[in-house]
Amino acid sequence: MHGTHTGSDLQAVKTTALRDGDHYVINGSKTFISNGSHCDLVVVVAKTDPSQGAAGVSLIVVETGTPGFERGRVLEKVGQHGQDTRELFFADVRVPVTNLLGAQEGLGFYQLMEQLARERLAIASVCAGMAEAAVLEAVKYVKQRQAFGRELWKYQHTRFELAELKAEVLSIKTTVDHAVQAYIDGNNSPDIASMAKLVAADKGVAVVDKCVQFFGGYGYMMEYPIARAYAAARVNKIYGGTSEIMKEIISRAM
């Protein structure tokens, strides 16, 4: 879990875990924590040595029943209402030093960086699936919706627009598949994973947006899956590293 106002800047974590004998004393807060309501075990990103920047970050496991741990309110998101997001607070939370992940302190930054490619590939895969589902929903709708006496599907413009979107979905899936295969083959490359997330998130959101248009006013009603997809899709360009951060990572490898 990243600290408040931290996001992709892992070195800016403000939560601290200071050694006190055989325990760490954890103080700080976390925000935008997915599934914060359900977890009974959390991995906290904290500064065990605030003077060392990235080298002073560690990962520490905390059981949610530990005194001093509290859950904040459930945050009201634009979309993805089936998955809660909330704040977590730590006030003098004491845990044994054996709860440290890794052989020694200060490895947290590297442990996180090792897993970021995997997270970004997971999000990219979701984006690909969401884009494909949106096109399928649009095709189904235009084949049964009538305008001016005939189905929308019978208008060449409609078919051409959907043909283009279907091709776009294939290009997204191909990019994601390439990056996932590279990861499976042992190439845990940050720039390849970042390219997959950048393409899948940006193009995927655009595909869903275009699919909404086929539904007219119904596409703006939350009872329709396409409207819920529209609300849920936008955050893919933000969490797991913003599209701007993806560009920065890719450019560093050029």
pLDDT at position 238 over 90: yes
Taking residues 206-220, report their average pLDDT.
Answer: 97
pLDDT in tens, 177-191: 999 999 999 998 899
More confident call, 3 vs 66: 66
* Angle, vertex CA 187, rays to CA 200 and CA 101, nearest 5: 95
More confident call, 149 vs 106: 106
Nearest to 58 by CA among 93, 7, 30, 99: 99
Contact 131, 207 (CB under 8 A): yes
Q: What percent of the chain has pLDDT over 90?
A: 78
The pTM is what?
0.86
Per-residue pLDDT band for 135 (boundaries 50, 70, 90) equals very high
All residues at 6 or more sequence positions from 67 whose CB lies less than 8 Å from its CB, including other chains? 93, 94
According to DSSP, the residues that pair with 18 across neighbouring strands are 25
pLDDT at residue number 188: 84
Active site residue: 87, 119, 161, 168, which one? 119
pLDDT in tens, 33-45: 988 888 899 999 9
Contact 5, 12 (CB under 8 A): yes
pLDDT at residue number 156: 96
pLDDT at residue number 5: 45
Q: Which of 90-99, 135-144, 145-154, 166-175 has the lowest average pLDDT?
A: 145-154
Residue 151 falls in the annotated catalytic set: no
pLDDT at residue number 3: 43
Stated length of the chain: 254
Both tokens of 54, joined, read 């990235």
Describe the strand order of the beta sheet including 69-74 as a list of residue ranges.
57-63, 41-47, 16-20, 23-34, 85-96, 69-74
Q: What percent of the chain has pLDDT over 70?
A: 95
pLDDT at position 206 over 80: yes
pLDDT at residue number 218: 95
pLDDT at residue number 211: 98
Both tokens of 59, joined, read 């990962």
pLDDT at residue number 9: 59
Contact 123, 198 (CB under 8 A): no
Taking residues 214-233, report their average pLDDT.
Answer: 96
Taking residues 61-77, report their average pLDDT.
Answer: 94
Q: What are phi and psi of 70, to 5 degrees?
A: -140, 145
Per-residue pLDDT band for 4 (boundaries 50, 70, 90) equals very low
Domains of the chain: 10-106 (2.40.110.10), 113-252 (1.20.140.10)
